[in-house]
A and B are shown apart, each in its own frame.
Chain A
Amino acid sequence: MAICGIVVRLGQETAVHADALARLGQIPGLSLGAPTGLKVPAVLDTPSAEEDRAGLERIAALQGIEGVDLVCVHYDDDTGADALGEVGP
């Protein structure tokens, strides 16, 4: 649904950083940039509405990750229109 620019915040325990980055690398649609200290810029590109949200939750839940900050999102026209066609509450 969306392309999200995010900043992944690593925990202060440096011993687990390598494992955390390796796990991040396994998340589908996630491209990592060069870390700056404990912050890793990244882009999450997912094909469906469920997956972008799930991807963010998955990142935040990884061991060694302190949190995820969103900085931008581009709504994809096609899938966005489809999602918005659904009925509200």
Chain B
Amino acid sequence: MSAGVSRRAFLKTSAMATAAAAAAGQLGLAERALAQPGEVDAQGVRWSKAPCRFCGTGCHVLVGVRGGRIVAVRGAEQAAVNKGLLCVKGYHVGLIPYGPDRLTRPLLRQDGELRPVSWERALEVMAERVERDPAGFAFYGSGQWTIPEGYAAQKLMKGGLANNHIDPNARLCMASAVTGFLATYGVDEPAGCYDDLDACDVMIMWGNNPAEMHPVLFSRVIDRRSRGEQVRLIDIGTRRTRTTSQCQHFLRFKPHTDLAIANGIAHLLIANDTYDKAFVEKHCAFRADSDPPTLFGKATSFDDYKQALAEYTPERVEQISGVPARDIRMLAELFGRRDLKITSLWCMGMNQHTRGTAINTLVHGVHLLSGHFGKPGDAPTSLTGQPSACGTVREVGTLAHALPGGRLVAKEPHRKQCEELWKLPEGRINPKPGYHTVKMWEQFCTPTAKGGDIHTIWVQVTNPGQTLPNLKKLFRAKQGLADKFLIVSDVYPTATTELADLVLPSALWVEKNGVFGNSERRTQQWFRLIKPPGEARDDCWQTIALARKLHDRGLEGMKDREGRFLFDVRDDAGREVPVWEWPRYYDVNVDRHLFEEYRGFTRLKHKDLAPYDEYVKAHGMRWPVVQQADGSWRETRFRFVEFDDPYVKKGAGVQFYHSTSKDDRAQIWFRPYAPPPESPDAEFPLWLCTGRVLEHWHTGTMTMRVPPLRRAMPGAYVEVHPTDAAAAGVGNGDKVRIETRRGALELHVWVGGRGAPPPGSLFVPFFDEQLLINDLTLDEVDPFSKQPDYKKCAARLRRVGA
């Protein structure tokens, strides 16, 4: 028997042992049979833990490395999130570092072409751009920033440059969830967690397709049905998806009318006297829009709320939404039952919405009004699309208006707290919020002479050249503006690097240390397992190196009030370590240093984190993590409830301790249905919706470089209903031209494909950088969250050549 065959036989035996243990739910068996984190198996493979690089689920992967290369991955058997399972993207995550076109050297555009330069030269160019006008420099990051990366960027901008023009791509995907939580509970992020999926009797997906976007979570519920448990699944959506096929009910609604559905449920709960009076009287207050509208609105009464809802009869809701009145009654009947546990899930469908904040608050309101809150299985829970949208963006606060730990730049006490924690001179932090994403790019793409006051943007770990809406206006208009300068840190060439003036090669995933925070408040840590290729370096190092360059060139903001460098890192003996020098960066654990500094910010909003070393030992912990009398650290599964949340007063039962009405109550909002900013008309008669697919993660930068995934889904397409296809005289595979008021794109038609849009509606995925659907999308934003609506605009279709 050859060594190769022997090795393959061994691997098959290992794989079967893992699968058998997972099937039997015998984690102990798997633990004994398989090498665990830190161990080396018989094949010389060293296994280590890491969260998956892709979505916000936060699955834990065990990564097998041999000879400096990833050779295997498996789901972490002991990880509570995924219990040993992976999805098809997670299963390929070990291949993402190995695309053939990795960026390995800094590239500076000279005479129109990107040419290699040294890191030293690159940093000098960046420093010159900042010094030109620090107030016109902006930093654009993402929910893929690790917590230390985001924290370093935040500190550089707000603490060092006194500049709040830092915003993440998460503005495009979950900002409305943030404003929904803030307006309802006074504090961001879900109260429940994934344990709710194990306990609910009914799961309602609001414009959500977890079968493709969060498959491991969806599988967790489907698995319960496989065991004979009764779980009722309800898909409230605008198009049939793979999720729909597993649901008992599909309630198709007209785009944008989900507000009417939520109001219709609330109306019936009151009309039928089936709302939870005791819960509402004890724990809730009522809220409505103020004039002018603000995020926190104005207090109102139950009677006013009831009166406002009166017009949302089932028949009226049917008229607005297209959902049959009997289905609205069915939803209200379910919410009216105390013997059921109901979990609501949502993601982009509710968030990418010009009424995103409003629909978020209404769904929370339905749960509060019906008392379906605060018990395992009873929860309104938003999901995130990126691995650290919660940890880095929402908690570290890498948003233009925010400071770490839920603080706001506009609040003087919050600025003072940050100045104290960062040891900054008093008054350093700028009180004026910076530009949110859409505004930032609009200012960048506007000529300086016409008021475009952002001259330079540094982009890290994201691809705005593909994901911004209305790309011609918000991204490609940069072309020809000679005084604008785009810096992009990334691992592969992208639609964004195409216009970059300076490209910086970055380390990816387990090529660097990291910490992510997932959708259920779980903070997860990992160590560097392999080296990045060529001269690629950590994004966090890049930020610190620029800060040091500015420091050395005399920029006063790069020092604290004691004269120390902003990123002063010391070894165990108290000696300064020059971590801005790449060869010295891993002399100490910079992540650990930054995380421990950041921990000091987390207690204000009761999002307490444990010491870094506790996360090294665990498959993540959900905040607040509070130290016990015996010295151990305890996570919190359910917030605001006495049985689990240590911050709820004894005897309170439920306590919304960040209540905006300052009385420990959550807010039940009334917000009316209002038409979208753009609807189909005679000229553009169809709805256009955009979204994601199972095989590719967001813009495909990583997954399109994994050959099996690329072959499985090689390019974008347009889903068309057979009636519309027939009217246009096209069939499967035919090329059509899709047009909106902003742009046009030619795509191949897919009729009867994976998703099924209704008549009058089109769907196009956004992963394909050769076919940029965001040339066509709308850049209108929600008034509170500033999140654009990618889910609906008016379009037309015609056969190419017709």
Kindly list the 8 A-B residue pairs having the minimum CB-CB distance in the complex, ordered from nearest: A72-B74, A5-B15, A41-B19, A39-B23, A5-B19, A41-B20, A89-B704, A41-B23
Cα distance A40–B24 when bound, in Å? 9
Cα distance A21–B330 when bound, in Å? 38
Contact residues, A1-60 vs B (CB, 8 A) = 1, 3-7, 9-12, 31, 33-43, 45, 49-50, 52-53, 56
Cα distance A31–B17 when bound, in Å? 12
Cα distance A34–B16 when bound, in Å? 10
Residues in B neighbouring A33, C-beta threshold 8 A: 16, 19-20, 23
A84 touches B19 (CB 8 A): no
B72 touches A72 (CB 8 A): yes
Shortest Cβ distance from A48 into chain B, in angstroms?
9
Contact residues, B217-240 vs A (CB, 8 A) = 219, 222-223, 225-228
Cα distance A8–B645 when bound, in Å? 38
Shortest Cβ distance from B131 into chain A, in angstroms?
36
A56 touches B223 (CB 8 A): no
Shortest Cβ distance from B459 into chain A, in angstroms?
19
Partner of A66, one of B86, B226, B712: B226
Residues in A neighbouring B222, C-beta threshold 8 A: 9, 66-67
Interface stretch (choices B90-98, B195-203, B478-486, B717-725):
B90-98
B226 touches A10 (CB 8 A): yes
Residues in B neighbouring A9, C-beta threshold 8 A: 222-223, 226
Best-buried of B70, B711, B769 by chain A (most CB within 10 Å): B711
Shortest Cβ distance from A21 into chain B, in angstroms?
14
Residues in A neighbouring B86, C-beta threshold 8 A: 69-73
Cα distance A84–B711 when bound, in Å? 13
A73 touches B91 (CB 8 A): yes
Residues in A neighbouring B18, C-beta threshold 8 A: 5, 71-72
Q: Assess whether B11 is interfacial by the CB under 8 Å rule.
A: yes
Residues in A neighbouring B219, C-beta threshold 8 A: 67, 69
B71 touches A43 (CB 8 A): no
Using C-beta atoms within 8 Å of the partner chain, give the interface range for chain A: 35 or more
Shortest Cβ distance from B247 into chain A, in angstroms?
13
B23 touches A4 (CB 8 A): no
Number of interface residues of B (CB under 8 A): 55
B84 touches A71 (CB 8 A): yes
B16 touches A80 (CB 8 A): no
Name B's A-contacting residues (CB within 8 A).
8, 11-12, 14-20, 22-25, 64, 70-75, 84-88, 90-92, 94-95, 98-101, 219, 222-223, 225-228, 492, 700, 704-705, 707-712, 768-770
Q: Of all chain B residues, which has the CB nearest A42?
A: B19
Best-buried of A11, A38, A39 by chain B (most CB within 10 Å): A39
Cα distance A5–B708 when bound, in Å? 17
> Given A66-B222, A88-B704, A89-B769, do A3 and B11 touch, yes or no (CB 8 Å)?
yes
Best-buried of B98, B101, B492 by chain A (most CB within 10 Å): B98
A53 touches B712 (CB 8 A): yes
Residues in A neighbouring B19, C-beta threshold 8 A: 5-7, 33, 41-43, 71-72
Q: List 30 A-B contacts (CB under 8 A).
A: A3-B8, A6-B19, A7-B22, A11-B226, A31-B12, A31-B16, A36-B23, A37-B226, A39-B24, A41-B19, A43-B12, A49-B711, A50-B708, A50-B711, A70-B75, A70-B85, A71-B18, A71-B19, A71-B22, A71-B74, A71-B75, A71-B84, A72-B14, A72-B73, A73-B73, A73-B92, A74-B71, A80-B95, A88-B99, A88-B101
Partner of B74, one of A11, A67, A73, A89: A73
Residues in B neighbouring A74, C-beta threshold 8 A: 11, 14-15, 64, 71-72
Q: Of all chain B residues, which has the CB nearest A56?
A: B88
Q: Of all chain A residues, which has the CB nearest B70?
A: A75
Cα distance A36–B22 when bound, in Å? 10
Cα distance A40–B17 when bound, in Å? 12
Shortest Cβ distance from B123 into chain A, in angstroms?
28
B226 touches A49 (CB 8 A): no
Given contacts A70-B75, A73-B15, A84-B707, 9 further A-B contacts (CB under 8 A): A5-B19, A9-B222, A11-B226, A50-B708, A66-B222, A70-B86, A71-B74, A75-B71, A89-B770
